[in-house]
């Protein structure tokens, strides 16, 4: 493994009409962290992934974070 996982954060964030900064403020991280997640440069903690999933209105973490199991 070792690689960062892809996410649907950007798409779901746009669907909800919120900026990176607004999402970052809601989950308690920097805008740069949200940017890194959206660009697959950072893997979140389980708690952060859960919080982002809930803020984006999704039921399952797997809806937002895509783990490539190859």
Q: What is the pLDDT of residues 11-69, one digit of tens each?
A: 999 999 999 999 999 999 999 999 999 999 999 999 999 999 999 999 999 999 997 76
Domain span at residue 29?
6-57
Number of domains in the chain: 1
- Residue 37's domain is classified under what CATH number? 1.10.260.40
For residue 3, what pLDDT band results from cuts at 50, 70 and 90?
confident
In this model, does residue 9 exceed pLDDT 60? yes
Q: Token match 């919080």: residue?
A: 51
Bridge partners of residue 59, in order along the sequence: none
DSSP conformation class of 55: H
Report the sign of the C-alpha dihedral through residues 59, 45, 21, 12, in that order: negative
**Does any domain span residue 35?**
yes
For residue 2, what pLDDT band results from cuts at 50, 70 and 90?
low
């Amino acid at each position: 493994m070792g690689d960062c996982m892809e996410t649907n954060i950007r798409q779901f964030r746009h669907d909800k009409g919120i900026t990176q900064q607004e999402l970052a403020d809601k989950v308690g991280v920097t805008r740069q962290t949200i940017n890194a997640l959206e660009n697959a440069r950072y893997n979140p903690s389980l708690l952060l992934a859960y919080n982002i999933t809930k803020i984006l209105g999704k039921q399952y973490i797997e809806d937002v974070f895509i783990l490539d199991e190859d």
